[in-house]
Structure formats: C-alpha cells, structure tokens
Amino acid sequence: MSSSAAGLLFIGSLLVALALCYRPLGDYMFRVYTGAGHSRIELMLYRLVGVRPDGEQRWGVYARSVLAFSAVSILFLYGLQRVQNHLFLSLGMKPVEPALAWNTAVSFVTNTNWQAYSGEAAMGHVVQTAGLAVQNFVSAAVGMAVAIALVRGLARGRSGTLGNFWVDLVRGTVRILLPIAFVAALVLVAGGAIQTFGDHFTWATLTGGEQTFTPAAAASQEAIKDLGTNGGGIFNANSAHPFENPTSWTNWVTIFLLLVIATSLPRTFGRMVGDDRQGYAIVSVMAIIAIISIGLTNWAELSASGTVPQAIGQAMEGRESRFGVSNSGMFASATTLTSTGSVNSFHDSYTALGGGMLIFNMLLGEVAPGGVGAGLYGILILAVITVFVAGLMVGRTPEYLGKKIGPREIKLASLYFLVTPVLVLIGTAVAMATAAGRSAMLNTGPHGLSEILYAYTSASNNNGSAFAGVSANTTFHNVTLGLCMIFGRFLPIVLVLALTGSLAGQAPVPASAGTLPTHRPQFVGLLVGVTVILVALTFLPALALGPLAEGLL
Amino acid sequence: MDRMPGWARQHLAALRALLVLTVVTGVLYPAAATGVAQALFHGKADGSLVDKDGKTVGSAIIGQSFTDQEGAPVRSYFQSRPSAAGDGYDLLSTAASNLGPEDVVDTLAVPGAPDEGRQSLLTRVCARSKAVGELEGVSGARPYCTPDGVGAVLKVFPAVGAPVRAVSVNQSCPATPFVTAYQGVGVECGRPGEDYSAGRTVPVRGGVTRVEVPADAVTASGSGLDPHISIAYAELQAPRVARERGLVRAEVEALIRRHTTGRALGFMGEPAVNVLQLNLALDKG
C-alpha cells in the first residue's frame, strides 16, 4: 500500500470510530449532566468539599465558583513547583524558578499546557502526577461544565439558573474523564508506554556510550493529557517520545482520545435542547472544517514544498520513522483543531503552508471540534453570531433555539469573539516590537515571525503547542504568554456565562414562519462561512507576513 | 463557616474541592494505573529494557548512537538517524531541531573566534548526506547541496533588480564556489564575519536527479530518540555491515526483515526497522 493510501485509511478509520462513538458517548454525557441522582462516592465528595449538590446557581455564582476554583488551583500548583525539592519522589529536581512556575501553573489551569520547561529535566513525580495531571483532569472538567451551563441556558425557559458548578465539576471528572483515562492508560502501557514511580538509572550502550532512564507515570498522564485536550507532555518531546507514544497504533489511539469528547458533546447538546438535529448540525460544521483542514495540511506536508524539504525529498525533519509524514500531519491537525497542543512531530519544521494551516486551525478559535467543552461553547457563540448575521439579511430579530438574540446577547457574543484577536495581535505586536520579545526567535525572516505569532496564538487560544524553536523560557515571554493564557481562558468563560444568564432568564418564543431553521444544511453552510470568514478577515495580514510570505515567495 | 463572607466561603470550597480531586485524580488514579500496569505489563511499564550478557544495554523502544568515542560511526553496526537530543539520543534532553523549511543560510565560523558559527538546516542535511554517502560507498548528492556538502545558496545584491554581486554564502573562503557565475556575475566564496543579510537569498537546485541516501538518514527525528530507521536506510547499510562482519548479505537482509515492524493493521504509520534490536541480533551471531 502506498503511503498516501495508508494515510487516507488512517484518517478515514479515525472518522469512522468517532462517528460510532457520537451517539453512545454523547448520550452517556447527557445522562451524566442531567441525572438527578448522586452516587454514594459523589455524596461523600460533596460533603468533603462542603457544598450542597442540589443547590442551583445563577450565572454570577457559577462564574465566581469557576474563577475561585481556578485561582486556588493556580496558587496551589505554583506553590507545589516552588517547594518540589522538599517533596518525596521529586527525583532530585530543584524548585522551579518563579516566572516559569507562574507560567506553568497558569498554563495547566487554563487547559493550555504551554510548556516553557523540559519535563524530564524540571519536574519530579509529585509535581507531575499530583500537580500537573490533576489540572489535566479538572481544567477539562471546567471546560465541559461551562459548555453544559451554556446549553442549559439555551434549553431552560425563564429559570435564571444554570446548574451547580461543583456537581458539574465532580461528575465530569469522576464519571467521564476518570474511567476513560484509566482504560486508555492501560492500553498505552500495553503498547509500551512506561508507568513507573522508579528512579533514574544509567546503562552503557552497545558502543560504550551512556544513557539514563527517565522514570515517569507516563501512560496515566498521556491518557488524560489527550482525553482532556490538555497536551502537556511528561517529557519535552511530548507524544513524539517513544515512552509516551511507542507505536503507530498508540498514535491512532491518542488522536482518537483527543477528539472523542469534543466530537460527542454536540450530541449531548442536541439531547439537552430536545432536538437531536441541532446536535447533528453543529457536529457537521465541525466535521466540514476539520476535514478540509486535515486534507490541506496533509497535502502541504506530503508535497514537501520549500527548499529544505525538497533537498530532503520528504518532510521528515522532526518526524518519527514509525509515524511517517501523513500520520504526523493528522496528529498535528487534530491537536490544533482541538485545544490540545500535544505534538508527535515538531511543527517548527513543517512546510510553510502546513505550519500556516496549524496556526489557522487555532485562530478559528478551536471550534472544529475544539477543546473539551471549550469547543462546544465556542461554536455555539459563533452560531449566535450567525443567526444575527442571517437576521440582518432578512431584517428580523434573530433567535436561536427559541431564545431571542437581542442587543445584550449579541454584545456579549461579539466581545467573546474579540478576545482572541486582541490578545494574539497585541501580544505578537508587543513581542516583535521589543528586543526581549524578538530574542526568542530561533529561525530568521518570515519563519521567525511565524514562531512568535504561533506562540501568542497558541497561548491565547489555550492550545499549548509551539513552533518549539522559540526560546520562551524568559521572564518576558513567561509573563506575557501567561497573561494571554489567563485572559484567553477566563474572559471568554465569564462572557459565555453572562450570555447564558440572559438566555436562561428568557421565556422561549415559539418558532414562526420567519424563524431561521438551525438544523438544515443552509445553516450549516452559513456557520462554516461565518467562522472561516471572520477569522480570515481578522488575521490575514498577520498570516501574510508569516507563513504565507514564507510559503509563496 | 456560615459567618464567613460569601467570597471567602467560595474560595474555601474551591480549596477543598481541589484537595479532594487531587487525592482522586493525582494520587489514587496514578497509583491504581501503576499497580495494574505493573501487574499486567511489567516489562513494558518499566521501559522495555533489553539485556546483553545479563547487563542492561538499552530500551527496545529508545534509539541509541552506534558511534565511537570521537563520534565516528562504528562500521560493524547499523547506524541510527541523526538526533537533536543533547549530544545525541540523550533521554535527559529530548528534542527536535525545530529548524524551519527555509533555514538555508549558515553563519560561517570565524577562524580564531570563540563563536563557532551556526549551521542551517539545509547545510546539516547536505553534510549528513555527504557523510552517509561516503560511509556506504554511494553518491551523497542531493538537490540544493554543493559537492562539498553544504547548502547551495547564493546571496545576490542588490536584493531587487539586476545582480551586480553574488556570494555562495555557505562556502567559507577559500572554497571554490559551486557555480562560477550567476546571471553573468561571478560568484564569490563566503567570507566569515561578513554580513550578507541584505542580499536576496537564492537557493540553487542543481541537476541532481537520483538521490541515494534516504530522507530519514539526513533528518533528526521529533523526539531525538527514534528507535527506527526506514527499510531503505537499513538496506543501504546492509552491504557494509555484512562486509565488516564477514557475513553473507542475505543473512543480514533476513535479520533486517525480522526486526522490521510493518504498519499496524496494515495502514497505521510506516514500516520501520528497530536499530538496537537489529544490532543486538548481529552481535548474538
């Protein structure tokens, strides 16, 4: 079989597997978030936390709970890194420097998992498993909770409340993420991923060199890192490292994991609003954008355009032999279409247009299918903007799922959309305008700009992957990228919840002859168009100076 | 607790929630995963270590360098891919090169200066191709590479308009430039220390049509620990290894096939040869 035929089968089999999971997993998550009963373990957890699980929250309380939980998480994770030399199982690692510890704490709490450190050189067992991996779970659960709250706001009539954050957090973690991650971890170990709390030891190689074993609970962390669309690898080489992603089939499994929740959540959404067709419409939008993007990236990489790829004959720099070019490109697409940011090949060495597609994926706001939860609320906001645009065309007050999109709603949705461009463009501009910012570039010319643009895009969209040549472990970048991650995560969340509050307070209006149906191909096409055009208009100038200049000149 | 202000109550609940979930997902989960993994897949969970004469010599899924003290390839062993992890295959600093597709201009080393200059990705590829070609007795020529193994790149001045000066920037003087003239202008060799950044970069493809050194032999992997090479690279090395060890070539070819992992399920990934296991099999005889 030729490489490109095998690559197509690889992509096709993933799509089929995800389609098969859409209904069962979506329905399961529907039951998780709408079920009235609490298990005995959960009741014990609520008692330990000190909250009443049946108390409903208004949007302000829900938002403050999210922010309080995240603030405490950042402080805890910062502290853990600063004292890690005093902890047991720390593998002799030193305390992490303050700016780097701040950046890393923010990075993991915001589901970004930007890594300015090298895992095997900086973090011991305790920080990895009880600090970073915990945030892999709970930051994912927070994203899902916010998405579910938004869906409740759309589904409920004049209730004003959106559920209970603590219940959503605990259920998402315990009933969804934990069981899947546990099974996935064992599957990865079966493939060869390591899972040990041992110590470093050294051996002599066949020709008398020296290698040191780097112990880690890699499989358990790899599983949740992908399932929760986090992306923070236990090792610097991330999913390219054979101890994290040892075979071509574990590669398939990790890509599946990082897509499966985000692609199934539209089903949960459809069930909750009482119309499965709405879920199919949303997942179709995600699929259309994703398939086009995956196709373009694969084409760019397989065509190996650019001077060095032409000299090599194949875009193999930064790729592992067992994965090859096509499967590496699929992973790269999946990791940037979601908010994952783990890598099995190094994007800095991608062809200009292939790398540009990866930046574009993130600039789409990661909605196809996006991070767990974050992707769903992102695309629902774009759906709100789309019905508004459609309403302008026909001169009617827009509505979505029976809720009127008035001035307050559209202002909140527009503000949501504006957060990312402001952070990405101002962040990149400030970095390029200052010597401290520019010094991080490894490559020169347009590719250097791409590195910086990629970094601020990745941080502001909570992706976490990088054109990894960028030397981001400087005080300037640790602080500014940290700010981008915080604002890029929590401003949108607050705006989503504010929008949710005003939607939840409305009584639904009955559909009339003038209502735009939001489950038909027409709406799917409109939403794809709005998503792509909004992003293209916003970012084309920046992309033209970076990847487009490099690829087309 | 009811007498506390609302915000304080919220943050206390948040802290308690974090601690509870830390125990569940940060202690119980990895402990249970480790317990079951160690019970079911002991060897794999510990890193798939491999022995020779009772001593650990590596991990079956981690590559290593088969070079001598000076870094020269040991001729009786199959060679791994280039690596950007530390000094090569260093598990303590896994990394890729992260150099981009248009990284084609070197900074030449100035003789006597402490700064050793910087090789572009193109020059690294060309140099590796030349070295592998010499080791295996085939041509190391590639597009965009000079015969002396650096990137074939001109800087042309002025950047816009008819050229009045052309420099082969990666060929340090007194090297002979790979072309004598560019659009009627004589080509100079590159003078270390001189700033050519204002010129227009013109990579020159050259007439090479047949490339004998495979792509994976001239590129660093993503992890820097790639345990595999392509079948093509293994077959390129087979005659040398057979000669060095006094083996029939067919025996070596059979060993290559035995240590080749095909695509999983026939379509996942690419076929690849595990270098450490192949070399161990050769040593066993």
Q: How far is B71 from chain A (nearest CA, A)?
A: 10
pLDDT at B8: 87
Give the ranges where A172-323 is alpha helix by DSSP (H).
Answer: 178-191, 218-227, 248-272, 276-303, 307-312
Q: Could you read off the pLDDT of A60-88 as tens digits, one per residue?
A: 999 999 999 999 999 999 999 999 999 98
The 3 state secondary structure assigned to A363-427 is HCCCCCCCCCCHHHHHHHHHHHHHHHHHHHHHCCCCEECCEECCHHHHHHHHHHHHHHHHHHHHH
pLDDT surpasses 80 at A436: yes
pLDDT surpasses 90 at A433: yes
Total domains present in chain B: 3
Q: How far is B64 from chain A (nearest CA, A)?
A: 7
d(CA B269, CA B285): 30
Task: Indicate whether B78 and B112 sit together in one domain.
Answer: no
Q: Which residues in A273-286 are b (16+ Cβ under 10 Å) and which e?
A: bebbebbbbbbbbb
Share of chain A above pLDDT 70, in %: 100
pLDDT surpasses 70 at A270: yes
Collect all residues with Cβ–Cβ distance below 8 Å to B257 and sequence separation of at least 6. none
Task: Indicate whether B209 and B263 sit together in one domain.
Answer: no
* Distances from the Cα of A285 to the Cα of A346, A463, A505, angstroms: 28, 20, 28
Task: Indicate whether B200 and B230 sit together in one domain.
Answer: no
Q: Looking at the complex, does the CB of residue A133 fall below 8 Å from at least one CB of chain B?
A: yes
> Which of A247, A305, A349 has its CB closest to that of B99?
A349
Q: What is the value of pTM for the model shown? A: 0.96
The answer to whether A90 and A126 are in contact (CB under 8 A) is: yes
pLDDT surpasses 80 at A428: yes
Task: Indicate whether B86 and B25 sit together in one domain.
Answer: no
Say which amino acid occupies A422.
Answer: V
Say which amino acid occupies A310.
Answer: Q
Q: Among residues B213, B237, B255, which one ends one of the domains?
A: B213
d(CA B106, CA A89): 44
Q: Looking at the complex, does the CB of residue A10 fall below 8 Å from at least one CB of chain B?
A: yes
d(CA A383, CA B55): 62
Dihedral sign for Cα B165, B168, B174, B179, please.
negative
Report the chain B residue with the minimal C-alpha distance to residue A109.
Answer: B18
* Distances from the Cα of A84 to the Cα of A74, A128, B26, angstroms: 15, 10, 15
Residues of chain A with C-beta less than 8 angstroms from the C-beta of B269? 247-249, 251, 322-324, 327
Interface probe with A: pick from B4, B7, B16, B18, most Cβ of A within 10 Å: B18
pLDDT at B2: 58
In a domain, B206, yes or no: yes
Q: How far is B57 from chain A (nearest CA, A)?
A: 5
Taking alpha carbons only, the member of A63, A149, A146, A65 closest to residue A111 is A146
Residues of chain B with C-beta less than 8 angstroms from the C-beta of A309? 101
Taking alpha carbons only, the member of A333, A183, A323, A142 closest to residue A248 is A323
Residue A211's H or E segment, with its range, is strand A210-213
Q: Looking at the complex, does the CB of residue A131 fall below 8 Å from at least one CB of chain B?
A: yes
> Which of A49, A120, A307 has its CB closest to that of B94?
A120
Contact flag A236-B81 (C-beta cutoff 8 Å): no
In a domain, B233, yes or no: yes
The answer to whether B206 and B42 are in contact (CB under 8 A) is: no
Angle between helices A407-433 and A374-394 (to 10 degrees): 120
Collect all residues with Cβ–Cβ distance below 8 Å to B53 and sequence separation of at least 6. none
d(CA A243, CA A230): 18
Q: Looking at the complex, does the CB of residue A195 fall below 8 Å from at least one CB of chain B?
A: yes
Residues of chain B with C-beta less than 8 angstroms from the C-beta of A328? 222
Q: Looking at the complex, does the CB of residue B144 fall below 8 Å from at least one CB of chain A?
A: yes
Report the chain B residue with the minimal C-alpha distance to residue A61.
Answer: B10
Contact flag A1-B267 (C-beta cutoff 8 Å): yes
Q: Could you read off the pLDDT of A256-265 as tens digits, one per residue?
A: 999 999 999 9
Torsion of CA B109, B115, B116, B117, to 10 degrees: -60
Proportion of chain A in helix, strand, coil states, percent, rounded to 5: 65, 5, 30
pLDDT at B251: 96
Contact flag A344-B222 (C-beta cutoff 8 Å): yes
Task: Indicate whether B244 and B265 sit together in one domain.
Answer: yes
d(CA A81, CA A99): 11
Interface probe with A: pick from B2, B9, B44, B211, most Cβ of A within 10 Å: B44
In a domain, B1, yes or no: no
Beta bridge partners of A204: A210
Q: Looking at the complex, does the CB of residue B13 fall below 8 Å from at least one CB of chain A?
A: yes
Interface probe with B: pick from A188, A206, A454, most Cβ of B within 10 Å: A206
> Which of B20, B52, B90 has its CB closest to that of A48?
B20
* Distances from the Cα of A345 to the Cα of A84, A333, B101, angstroms: 30, 11, 14
| Averaged pLDDT in 10-residue chunks for chain B of 285 residues | 76 96 97 98 96 96 96 97 96 95 94 87 98 98 97 96 96 95 96 94 95 98 98 98 97 97 96 98 92
> Which of A73, A178, A194 has its CB closest to that of B29?
A178
Q: How many residue contacts between A and B have a Cβ separation below 8 Å? A: 394
Structural domain span for residue B231: 49-97+220-284
In a domain, B159, yes or no: yes
Q: Looking at the complex, does the CB of residue B85 fall below 8 Å from at least one CB of chain A?
A: yes
The B residues from 161 to 200 touching A (CB cutoff 8 Å) are none
Q: Could you read off the pLDDT of A328-360 as tens digits, one per residue?
A: 999 999 999 999 999 999 999 999 999 999 999
pLDDT surpasses 60 at A162: yes
Collect all residues with Cβ–Cβ distance below 8 Å to A73 and sequence separation of at least 6. A105, A109, A135, A138, A139, B14, B18
Contact flag A129-B1 (C-beta cutoff 8 Å): no
The B residues from 43 to 72 touching A (CB cutoff 8 Å) are 44-49, 52, 55-59, 61-62, 64-69
Q: How far is B285 from chain A (nearest CA, A)?
A: 15
Phi and psi at A535, nearest 5°, equal: -70, -45
d(CA A169, CA A144): 8
3-state secondary structure of B156: strand
The answer to whether A339 and A229 are in contact (CB under 8 A) is: yes
Taking alpha carbons only, the member of A527, A541, A140, A45 closest to residue A370 is A140
Cβ neighbours of B159 (radius 10 Å): 12
Task: Indicate whether B204 and B246 sit together in one domain.
Answer: no
Task: Indicate whether B130 and B198 sit together in one domain.
Answer: yes
Q: How far is B87 from chain A (nearest CA, A)?
A: 11
Q: Which residues in B217-229 are b (16+ Cβ under 10 Å) and which e?
A: bbbbbbbbbbbbb
Task: Indicate whether B11 and B85 sit together in one domain.
Answer: no
Q: Looking at the complex, does the CB of residue B280 fall below 8 Å from at least one CB of chain A?
A: yes
Averaged confidence pLDDT in chain A: 95
Cβ burial, residue A374 (10 Å; 0-12/13-18/19+): buried
Q: How far is A425 from chain B (nearest CA, A)?
A: 22
Task: Indicate whether B78 and B142 sit together in one domain.
Answer: no
Strands B272-274 and B228-229 come out as antiparallel
Q: Prior bond to A547 cis, omega within 30?
A: no
Q: Region A493-497: what's the mean pLDDT? A: 97
Contact flag B102-A445 (C-beta cutoff 8 Å): yes
Q: Region A186-197: what's the mean pLDDT? A: 98
Residues of chain B with C-beta less than 8 angstroms from the C-beta of A76? 15, 18, 22
Beta bridge partners of B151: B145
> Which of A51, A190, A206 has its CB closest to that of B57?
A206
Q: Region A148-169: what's the mean pLDDT? A: 93
Q: Region A189-206: what's the mean pLDDT? A: 97
Dihedral sign for Cα B245, B250, B251, B254, please.
positive
Report the chain A residue with the minimal C-alpha distance to residue B92.
Answer: A120
The answer to whether A112 and A140 are in contact (CB under 8 A) is: no
Share of chain A above pLDDT 90, in %: 91
3-state secondary structure of B79: coil
Q: Looking at the complex, does the CB of residue A221 fall below 8 Å from at least one CB of chain B?
A: yes
* Distances from the Cα of A150 to the Cα of A422, A492, A506, B33, angstroms: 24, 12, 13, 34
